[in-house]
Every structure is written in C-alpha cells, then in structure tokens.
Amino acid sequence: MSGTLADASIVPAIIVKPNPANEQVEIILENNKEKAYVLRITDLEGRIKFHFNKAASELKTIINTYELSPGIYFVLVDDSNGLQLSKKLIILR
C-alpha cells in the first residue's frame, strides 16, 4: 500500500541549520537512497551562489556564508532520478 506513514519516512529531506544563519550554515540531506546529487544555493532571482556535485555518501555540507548578503535564499537539491527538493534559507548579519 502506498501513501502510508511508513512510506513518508523514506522520502529524502533537507535540513538547514541554523536557519536564520549568520556565519555558516550546515545542510544535511536525510534519507538519500545512495544517489549522487547536486546541491545549489540560489538567490530570489534564481542566480546560483553556490553549486556542489555531491557523492551519495556526502550527506552533510557546511558552507561559510560570508559571500552572501543578508536576505532570503533557496537551498536546492536535484538527484539523478529527477527528484527536486528545496528549502528556504535566511541570512542575517
């Protein structure tokens, strides 16, 4: 049976902490099914600020946010099967 609570526990998810962030942010990909993925941070206009090609085993990324102006950004994850995840990131100074 699909659509059960047990099925929901295996869906990949992005954790962004702290959020809002100041000096650095930790991005964790949970429940990755051993797939390589692309991690991007974009501004509200879609301009890519950071871009990483990640191996399936690389589930945690720490990013220094000094290059980002205060504001709202998006953390985006795309895997090789077309799965797309997004999470809002707020940078404060």
Total domain count for the chain? Answer: 1
Give the pLDDT score at 1.
Answer: 44
Indicate which CATH number applies to the domain containing 15: 2.60.40.10
Residue 36 belongs to domain spanning: 5-91
Query: What is the average pLDDT score of the chain?
Result: 89
3-state secondary structure 31-75: CCCCCCEEEEEEECCCCEEEEEEECCCCCEEEEECCCCCCEEEEE
Residue 67 has pLDDT above 50, yes or no: yes
- Is residue 53 within 8 Å of 16, Cβ to Cβ? no
Give the pLDDT score at 78.
Answer: 92
Give the pLDDT score at 87.
Answer: 97
Q: What is the pLDDT of residues 11-50, one digit of tens each?
A: 789 999 999 999 999 999 988 877 899 999 999 999 999 9
Contacts of 64 (CB under 8 A, 6+ apart): 23, 24
